[in-house]
């Protein structure tokens, strides 16, 4: 949206000089950033799940509940539920974007230990708020200063995790998203399946449709009822951004001064930008963003687990960094300056494994998971992991006893063998299991597969921009900008 406005030339020069909310949070990263090799730009988009305004005041209760369908202003905290790194090449070529799943379990910058990556902002903000309040700060000033600490922690955590420098960032909260959607509504989207979710308010039929601002927020927030949970929600966010850009470009809205003025009013009210960002120069450098020449990928996870009583995504940071750096042509931390510290890993690198390939028709195989392991939540975690691989989730239940086993019905042999190999057992056919169905029993001693476990989705993902990167390296299908993409 910002690029669209900046790209209109005189309009940007007239309006963008005053009124923007800016942040100095990037200054804290300069000394520890990986060395830049060219004029490319890495832009981090931060979606803050906060029900508060810029000054820390609660949004009106009725508005939060009825329009945002986001529960109470007391929940949500300061989690960054959306983190997207956009790489814009120096030559203005194809833009590559990486979505970071919000529950990835990583080292949080500042020596705060391992947490979900979404929690870096809130943890740092709370620490700063207590410290600053003890110094006598209060009200809006306390909110602004403590949020700066949250931004610094988020930026440093992402930079360390991905191993590439962050040059600019933009932050928007739930209200900002709603306000933007209100300016550009109705937004065309496409769903492969009908959905009804009372938590987010998403209630949509299958197929193409147009959404107003309230529906758009429900569309990008839904995770309950989706086979991939949060991972499917990430694809929703990518598809929504693609649809907005496609609509504005196809309808010539970049030249609609009234609409652009409305967008800029939202940017000034709801969006925070870093103070070093020259939007006019950036707009000239990145025409492919508004032209739709971009592709979104969801970074891979290595499985699911429970840490500190919460469900998390296990990640292999070495694999993630290597994938990102290979896609954008950056050598990573080997080229850091003498003052820079090495990136910290969320877990030790695991030796590579070569699991059997996931069958191309994995989505037509339903997998039931029964828990006889005695480990609370093991069946649900394994079901989510198999769903992330492309299988259709089935029943989840406890079993009175038994050993780890995999049995299958007619037509599900290939899928059963792949799942059995993942668990280190042998698959067996069974006449009592329906066709195209697999039943997994998790026996005593079962532990969720760690980073060495296969975590690749079914091979229908769009190939990456770099031919050296396999098409199944990311989590689920990639989304190309510039059209209406059907998602789950």
Average pLDDT, the chain: 78
CATH 3.40.50.740 describes domain 2-322+480-487 = no
Please give the order of strands across the beta sheet that includes 187-191.
207-211, 187-191, 486-487
- Domain boundaries in the chain? 2-322+480-487, 362-442
**Residue 365: how many other CB atoms lie within 10 Å:** 27
Q: What value, to the nearest 5°, has the Cα angle with vertex 382 and ends 480 and 206?
A: 40
pLDDT for res 465: 40
SS (HEC) of the chain: CHHHHHCCCHHHHHHCCCCCEEECHHHHHHHHCCCCCCCCEEEEEEEECCCECCCCCECCHHHHHHHCCCCCCCCCCCCEEEEEEEEECCCCCCEEEEECCCCEEEECCCCCCEEEHHHHHHHHHHHHHHHHHHCCCCHHHHHHHHHHHHHHHHHHHHHHHHCCCCCEEEEEEHHHHHHHHHHHCCEEEEECCCEEECCCCEEECCEEEEECHHHHHHHHHCCCCCCCCHHHHHHHHHHHHHHHHHHHHHCCHHHCHHHHHHHHHHHHHHEEEECCCCHHHHHHHCHHHHHCCEEEEECCCCEEEEECCEEEEECCHHHHHHHHHHHHCCCHHHHCCCCCCCCCCCCCCCCCCCCCCCCCCHHHCEEEEEECCCCCCHHHHHHHHHHHCCCEEEEEEECCCCCCEEEECCCCHHHHHHHHHHHCCCEEECCCCCCCEEEEEECCCCCCCCCCCCCCCCCCCCCCCCCCCCCCCCCCCCEECCCCCEEC
**Which of the residue ranges 211-225, 241-255, 372-386 would you say has the lowest mean pLDDT?**
241-255
Cβ-based neighbours of 336, under 8 Å, separated by 6 or more: 33, 34, 35, 342
pLDDT for res 134: 96
Percent of the chain predicted with pLDDT > 70: 74
Q: Give the phi and the psi of residue 87 in degrees, each rounded to 5.
A: -105, 120
Angle between helices 139-162 and 120-134 (to 10 degrees): 140
Give the total residue count for the chain. Answer: 488
pLDDT for res 158: 96
> Does residue 339 or residue 191 have the better pLDDT?
191
- Evaluate whether 2-322+480-487 and 362-442 have a shared fold: no
Cβ-based neighbours of 161, under 8 Å, separated by 6 or more: 100, 104, 106, 107, 117, 317, 320, 321, 343, 346
Q: Which two tokens stand for residue 341?
A: 């510290």
Give residue-wise pLDDT tens across range 92-137.
678 899 999 999 999 999 999 999 999 999 999 999 999 999 999 9
Q: Is the pTM of this model over 0.85?
A: no
pLDDT for res 330: 59
- Residue 346 pLDDT class (50, 70, 90 cuts): very low
Give residue-wise pLDDT tens across range 40-69.
889 999 998 877 878 887 777 767 666 666
Give residue-wise pLDDT tens across range 460-479.
333 334 445 665 688 888 88
Nearest one of 274, 273, 278, 197 to 488, comparing CA atoms: 197
Q: What is the CA radius of gyration of the chain?
A: 23
CATH 3.30.70.2390 describes domain 362-442 = yes
Question: What distance in Å separates the CA atoms of residue 77 and residue 44, rounded to the nearest whole number?
Answer: 20
């Amino acid at each position: 949206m910002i690029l669209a406005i900046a790209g209109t030339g005189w309009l940007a020069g007239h309006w963008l000089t005053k009124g923007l909310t800016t942040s100095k949070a990037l200054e804290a990263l300069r000394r520890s950033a990986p060395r830049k090799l060219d004029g490319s730009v890495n832009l981090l988009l931060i979606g803050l799940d906060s029900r508060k305004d810029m000054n820390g005041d609660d949004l009106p209760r009725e508005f939060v509940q009825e329009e945002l369908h986001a529960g109470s202003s007391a929940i949500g905290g300061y989690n960054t539920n959306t983190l997207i790194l956009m790489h814009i090449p120096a030559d203005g070529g194809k833009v590559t974007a990486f979505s970071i799943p919000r529950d990835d379990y990583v080292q949080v910058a500042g020596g705060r230990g391992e947490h979900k990556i979404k929690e870096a902002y809130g943890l740092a903000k709370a620490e700063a708020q207590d410290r600053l309040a003890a110094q006598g700060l209060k009200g809006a000033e306390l909110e602004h200063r403590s949020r700066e600490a949250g931004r610094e922690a988020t930026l440093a955590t992402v930079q360390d995790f991905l191993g590439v420098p962050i040059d600019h960032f933009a932050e928007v909260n739930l209200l900002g998203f709603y306000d933007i959607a209100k300016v550009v509504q109705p937004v065309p989207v496409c769903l492969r399946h009908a959905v009804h979710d009372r938590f987010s308010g998403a209630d949509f039929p299958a197929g193409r449709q147009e959404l107003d601002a309230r529906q758009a927020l429900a569309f990008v927030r839904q995770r309950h009822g989706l086979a991939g949970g949060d991972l499917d929600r990430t694809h929703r966010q990518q598809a929504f951004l693609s649809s907005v850009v496609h609509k504005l470009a196809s309808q010539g809205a970049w030249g609609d001064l009234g609409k652009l003025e409305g967008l800029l009013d939202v940017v000034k009210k709801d969006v925070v930008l870093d103070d070093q960002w020259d939007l006019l120069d950036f707009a000239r450098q990145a025409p492919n963003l508004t032209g739709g020449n971009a592709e979104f990928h969801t970074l891979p996870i290595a499985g699911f687990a429970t840490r500190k009583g919460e469900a998390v995504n296990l990640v292999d940071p070495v694999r993630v960094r290597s994938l990102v750096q290979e896609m954008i042509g950056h050598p990573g931390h080997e080229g850091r300056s003498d003052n820079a510290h090495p990136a910290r890993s969320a877990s030790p690198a695991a030796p590579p494994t070569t699991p059997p390939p996931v069958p191309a028709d994995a989505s037509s195989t339903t997998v039931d998971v029964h828990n006889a392991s005695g480990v609370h939540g093991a069946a649900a975690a394994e079901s989510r992991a198999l769903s992330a691989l492309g299988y259709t989730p089935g029943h989840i239940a406890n079993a009175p006893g038994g050993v780890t086993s995999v049995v299958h019905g007619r037509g599900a042999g290939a899928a059963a063998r792949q799942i059995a190999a993942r668990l280190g057992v042998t698959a067996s056919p069974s006449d009592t299991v329906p066709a195209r169905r697999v039943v997994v029993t998790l026996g005593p001693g079962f532990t969720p597969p760690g980073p060495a476990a296969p975590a690749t989705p079914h091979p229908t993902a769009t190939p990456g921009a770099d031919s050296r990167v396999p098409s199944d390296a990311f989590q689920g299908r990639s989304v190309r900008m510039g059209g209406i993409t059907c998602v789950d």
